């Protein structure tokens, strides 16, 4: 595994490991202050991974191809930078919030999907990461539990699921137009 491939892998693995760590109560209290660190591998991947780095995760169990090219690197880098800055702000904002752990979990899940869409290059992985980012954002929207944010959350999920249905349909059209492209 080259450095570039390792960085691509870490882009998704690091936030997911932090998310998994939230199972333990002690880590759950620490993680909210570390949110800015989760997107660091993504930023490094955008800066350091050579153009065209491709990582095919072993199947089974995975069936995922990750890759990075110049436009992807720009988007990934910008997104990672934004997530780092927002994460630093969120960590400060969450101090003293009894629900900080819950917020951090949704944050990490949304982040994984958000960064994943830039490096997923097969249809299924793209759809997977896309649905993670769009659905997990619900948890961030309704975090404060106020009636207004709950209403917004319901409208958001309805539109997100509708968007996903259209996206899936489009993928099916694409796949049937190019029968050789294994999705």
Partner 1 sequence: MPNYTTAGGFLLVLAIVLPVAGALFSLVLGGRRAERVVLMLMPAGLAIAAAIAIGVWRTHNVLQYSVGSWDPPLGVAFRADGLSAAMLVATALLVCGIGLFARGEFSSSRSGETRAPLVFWTLLLAVWGALNAVFIGGDLFNLYVALELLTFAAVPLVSLDGRSDTIAAALRYLLFALFGSILYLLAAVLFYGAYGTLDIVLLSGRIRAEPVVWAAISLMTAGLLAKAALYPFHLWLPPAHAGAPAPASAILSGLVVKAPFFLVLRLWFDIMLRMPEPAAAQVLGVLAAAAILVGSVVALRQARLKLLIAYSTVAQIGYLFLMFPLALKPETGHPWSSVAWTGGVLQAISHAFAKAAMFMAAGLIAEALGHDRIAGLAGIGRALPITVFAFARGGLSLMGLPPSGGFIAKAMLLTAAVAEGQWWWAVIVLTGGLLAGGYVFLVLARALADPSEPLTLLSSISPSRQAVVVALALCAVLLGFVPLRPWELLQIGRLDIVAAGFR
- The smaller minimum CB distance to partner 1, of residues 82 and 169, is found at 169
**What's the chain's length in residues?**
183
- The smaller minimum CB distance to partner 1, of residues 1 and 58, is found at 58
**Count residues contacting partner 1 (CB under 8 A)?**
31
180 makes contact with partner 1 (CB under 8 A): no
Cα dist from 169 to 41, 122, 176, 179, 180, whole Å: 33, 16, 11, 15, 18
DSSP state of 120: B
**Residues 55, 68, 115: CA angle, nearest 5 degrees:** 95
Per CB under 8 A, the list member of 107, 175, 178, 180 interacting with partner 1 is: 175
Beta bridge partners of 65: 56
150 makes contact with partner 1 (CB under 8 A): yes
- The smaller minimum CB distance to partner 1, of residues 3 and 146, is found at 146
Residue span 113-142 as binding mask against partner 1, x where in contact by CB under 8 A, dash where not = -----------x--xx--x---x---x--x
CB 167 within 8 A of CB 108: no
Choose one: 2-10, 13-21, 28-36, 54-62; the region binding partner 1 (CB under 8 A).
Answer: 54-62
Spell out the alpha helix ranges (H) of the chain. 3-21, 25-30, 40-48, 70-94, 100-119, 123-141, 147-177
List of residues contacting partner 1 (CB under 8 A): 59-63, 124, 127-128, 131, 135, 139, 142, 145, 150, 153-154, 157-158, 161-162, 164-165, 168-169, 171-173, 175-176, 182-183
């Amino acid at each position: 595994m080259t450095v570039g491939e390792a960085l691509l892998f870490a882009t998704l693995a690091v936030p997911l490991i932090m998310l998994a760590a939230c199972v333990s109560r002690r880590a759950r209290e620490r993680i909210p202050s570390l949110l800015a660190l989760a997107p660091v591998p993504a930023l490094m991947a955008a800066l350091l991974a050579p153009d065209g780095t491709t990582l095919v995760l072993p199947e089974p169990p995975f069936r995922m191809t990750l890759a990075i090219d110049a436009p992807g690197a720009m988007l990934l880098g910008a997104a990672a930078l934004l997530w780092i800055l927002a994460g630093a702000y969120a960590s400060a904002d969450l101090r003293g919030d009894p629900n900080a752990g819950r917020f951090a979990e949704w944050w990490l899940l949304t982040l994984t999907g958000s960064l994943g869409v830039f490096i997923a290059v097969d249809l299924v992985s793209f759809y997977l990461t896309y649905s993670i980012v769009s659905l997990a954002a619900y948890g961030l929207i309704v975090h404060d539990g106020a009636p207004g944010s709950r209403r917004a959350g319901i409208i958001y999920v309805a539109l997100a699921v509708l968007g996903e249905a259209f996206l899936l349909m489009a993928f099916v059209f694409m796949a049937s137009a190019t029968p050789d492209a294994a999705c």
